[in-house]
Structure 1
């Protein structure tokens, strides 16, 4: 069992580091081929920080254990709306939510994030449901890009040797992400059996927090650089990516069954609190951040006793 814990921790840390390298190389390549700053910031970072969840989803589906992915996504989304926001708020003192409220993107995000909750109430996410989720992901970005009227391109050409180097870094980091994800799924599965914990609980807590570490790291870095809106944008983008892209791909590979209704209901409860806090005073302060941390603590405690 000790070996499983060590493998899980090492694989999670490796996943976090390789995702960071992947984001850096992807950003440089994107700028080289003249992709807009908006696309780099909103699409690339949000999707890249959701790569751990996506890779865990693909791997668990291939191994016919998609419930691990479902637990990871639900747990990650609850973590996104609680600890991922709370930690940078404690660092900065407060976080403005004015921009995200003015663009109305938050409301679209909540709608698309709730969609899998609606589809899962029959306790199954079928391949058709997976297609619906993937279609909703495409629709979401169409809406966001259509609303944006000021896509300023970023032309930052790399010299040929540097460009080829970044392509190599991109491919190597992607390979390491796949390997790390495989190890996480295998060690989490074996650990859950030895501890007598359900695979869903492991996904909801241990794996969910582990795969959310890129978002936490990014949020802390962004808030220190006084880029609060990037934190909110990444949080919103990751919520949608997890709910539609990750679950959609997972269900398409292997349908998700035997889902726990409680964790799904708690996700909706957390969304309501999250939405309430970002609307009041158009900011999140330390008091609200503390409440968000308590909400996450309550979630883990209840899941432990209800598993």
Structure 2
């Protein structure tokens, strides 16, 4: 048990560091084309920080643990808003204002994230995601990307580019994420079995929070650097990647059972909290963010059987 816990931690470290390298390299490559920070956050950075969810969930589904895959995706999307965005709202609420010129595009991104969440919940409500659902998710994902790239434009804020090092960072980050994901899934299954906890709950809590660490690190750093658009775009884009791209691919490969309608509703409600967190104004944003964060802690406590 001690060895498995150590392996799980090592896997998480590789996930976080790998995603960090991918984000740094990918953002540097994207900045050469003068893409707006919010759009970089919503696409390149969001994909980088969603790599852990993609690899962990695909690996879990293909190795016979689809409950970890679905729990990871639903739990990660909840954590991205109720944990990461809420923390950003508490630390620097002013940076989340979509009316700031540097945060252009946040409004439409929130709408698209909520639309993706609604689509996922509707198709998952039947209890199984089929290959048809997977195809629908991927088509919707492509349409969203096309819409955003048409709306995106140049911005005076650029992320740093490091020349050819960007390519090495991107490749190294992907490799670290793949290795880390393998370690996380294998050890999580063993831990869940030893503790008598369901794989779904492990996916919703331990694995979900672990794979959301890249989003947390990236968003907090972006907020500290004054790039609210990059921070929020990262979280909203990551949620769309998780629901439409990651689950779309997995559903095409194998049918995905969804037996947690209550958690689907929880994901929809926590996702909707992105609206007041970003639109309420500086003082109210901090208060609302604190309430959402407390609600998340209670929700996790209930799932884990602590409350």
TM norm structure 2: 0.88
Aligned equivalents of 2:269, 2:155: Cα separation in 1:
38
Alpha-carbon spacing, 1:157–1:11, altered in 2? closer, same or farther (3 Å)? closer
CA contact (8 A) 1:71 1:200 kept: yes
Question: Counterpart of 2:35?
Answer: 37
Question: Once the two structures are superposed, what CA deviation does each residue of 1:9-31 show, in whole Å capped at 9, x if it has no partner?
Answer: 11101110111112222333445
Question: Counterpart of 1:237?
Answer: 237
Question: Once the two structures are superposed, what CA deviation does each residue of 1:262-294 show, in whole Å capped at 9, x if it has no partner?
Answer: 111111221333334433348763211210111
CA drift at 1:81: 1.0
Question: Counterpart of 1:49?
Answer: 49
Structure-to-structure mapping, 1:68-83, within 5 angstroms: 68-83=68-83
Structure-to-structure mapping, 1:19-38, within 5 angstroms: 19-31=19-31, 34-38=32-36
Question: Once the two structures are superposed, what CA deviation does each residue of 1:173-232 show, in whole Å capped at 9, x if it has no partner?
Answer: 322211110111111111111100111101101111111111111111111111122222
Choose from 112, 115, 129 the match for 2:116: 112
Aligned equivalents of 1:244, 1:283: Cα separation in 2:
34
Question: Once the two structures are superposed, what CA deviation does each residue of 1:142-183 show, in whole Å capped at 9, x if it has no partner?
Answer: 1212233x34798x997xxx62x5444433332221111011
More deviation, 99-108/190-199: 99-108
CA contact (8 A) 1:89 1:285 kept: yes
Question: Counterpart of 1:246?
Answer: 246
CA contact (8 A) 2:124 2:258 kept: no
CA drift at 1:89: 2.6
CA contact (8 A) 2:77 2:239 kept: yes
Aligned equivalents of 1:52, 1:224: Cα separation in 2:
23
Alpha-carbon spacing, 1:60–1:233, altered in 2? closer, same or farther (3 Å)? same
More deviation, 272-281/50-59: 272-281
Aligned equivalents of 1:152, 1:229: Cα separation in 2:
11
Question: Counterpart of 1:137?
Answer: 141
Aligned equivalents of 1:143, 1:29: Cα separation in 2:
21
Question: Counterpart of 2:194?
Answer: 194
Aligned equivalents of 1:189, 1:175: Cα separation in 2:
22
CA contact (8 A) 1:50 1:238 kept: yes
Question: Counterpart of 1:9?
Answer: 9
Question: Counterpart of 2:125?
Answer: 121
Alpha-carbon spacing, 1:144–1:28, altered in 2? closer, same or farther (3 Å)? closer
Question: Once the two structures are superposed, what CA deviation does each residue of 1:49-98 show, in whole Å capped at 9, x if it has no partner?
Answer: 11110111221122122221111111111111111012223322544333
Question: Counterpart of 2:18?
Answer: 18
Q: Within the alignment, does 1:176 sit opposite 2:189 as a pair?
A: no
The SS at the match of 2:280 is helix
Structure 1, unmatched stretches of 5+, are none
Question: Counterpart of 2:221?
Answer: 221
CA contact (8 A) 2:89 2:277 kept: no
Aligned equivalents of 1:223, 1:177: Cα separation in 2:
24
Q: Within the alignment, does 1:295 sit opposite 2:295 as a pair?
A: yes
Q: Within the alignment, does 1:88 sit opposite 2:88 as a pair?
A: yes
CA drift at 1:254: 1.7
The SS at the match of 1:98 is coil
Alpha-carbon spacing, 1:166–1:227, altered in 2? closer, same or farther (3 Å)? closer
Structure 2, unmatched stretches of 5+, are none
CA contact (8 A) 2:27 2:161 kept: no
More deviation, 38-47/277-286: 277-286
TM norm structure 1: 0.88
